Amino acid sequence: MGTRYPRHHRAALSLVLACLLAGAVRADPAPEPLDHYPTGSVTIESGGHRHAFKVWIASTEPRRNQGLMYVKSLAATRGMLFVFDAPQVTSFWMKNTLIPLDLMFIAADGRIIRIAENATPLSEASISSMGVVTTVLEVAGGTAHRLGIAAGDHVRYAPFGSN
């Protein structure tokens, strides 16, 4: 014969189990190592200067969803290029992102239409492209200001023409 619990104890136990199961289902998957991502080169033409970055390319939904989450540092010449299947208005957040980032929203012609500078680590606030884009470049926070990169500058990467 099993142990009998009062009805309110069974209800509380059921609630605890439901919460644990819900937490397990919603837990973020283990991040894919960045060295598994394809890489490429991006050059930004700004004020007569060319700024080159080596980038990880996030061209699948799981990789775009992960982005630079959990990265603890980012070299000044590194970044991630998010490539979308079709032009779209998009938004990002900094959930699980441990470092500030500059997000450059890029139109189909390679023109930067918006820069969100020094996005706040761990924030769940939405950061909108505020226009139709095909790619987004994330670099270390403060990079755009340091290099004088601004909306209207051009990004060179294979989908936009020659590098």
Question: What is the tens place of the pLDDT at every residue in 6-52?
Answer: 554 455 445 444 544 444 445 667 899 999 999 999 999 999 999 99
CB 102 within 8 A of CB 144: yes
Q: How far is Cα 108 from Cα 117, in angstroms, rounded to an integer?
A: 21
pLDDT, tens digit, for every residue of 85-135?
Answer: 999 999 999 999 999 999 999 999 999 999 999 999 999 999 999 999 999
CATH of the structural domain 34-160, one choice from 3.30.230.10, 3.40.50.2300, 3.50.30.50, 2.60.120.1140: 2.60.120.1140
CB 67 within 8 A of CB 138: yes
User: Taking Cα atoms as reference points, which of 162, 156, 161 lies closest to residue 81?
Assistant: 156
Relative to beta strand 91-92, strand 49-58 is unpaired
- Locate the domains of the chain by residue range: 34-160
User: Taking Cα atoms as reference points, which of 98, 80, 69 lies closest to residue 38?
Assistant: 80
